[in-house]
Amino acid sequence: MCLVLVCDEPERVVATYQAPGRCPYCGGGVVAADVESAPRLCYVPLCFRIRRRFFCSLCSRRLVSLA
């Protein structure tokens, strides 16, 4: 018997905003992006999540929020 689980989590950027602060790596501006994701199991979406992620506008690094 063979059991194969097909899992993926496609992400889509819903909106972007200018965020206060500076990038600690290069000093560039910070952009906040609302990202919608839907984890799937065998191509069936389990739930929909919207998360806010922060990126640098110059070096394009993903920044981690501590809050």
**Is residue 1, in this structure, part of any structural domain at all?**
no
User: Residue 47 is part of which domain span?
Assistant: 11-62
Q: Per-residue pLDDT averaged across 3-27, rounded?
A: 84
- Cβ-based burial of 39 (10 A; exposed 0-12, middle 13-18, buried ≥19): middle
Amino acid letter for position 26: C
Do residues 28 and 22 lie in contact, with contact meaning Cβ atoms separated by under 8 Å? yes
Q: Could you read off the pLDDT of 19-63 as tens digits, one per residue?
A: 999 999 999 999 999 999 988 877 788 888 999 999 999 998 999
Total-model pTM:
0.72
User: Taking the mean position of all CA atoms in its chain, how far away is CA 23?
Assistant: 17
The total number of structural domains in the chain stands at 1
Residue 16 lies in a domain: yes
* Most distant CA pair in the chain, distance: 55
- Residue 2 belongs to a domain: no
* SS3 label, residue 46: coil
DSSP state of 64: P
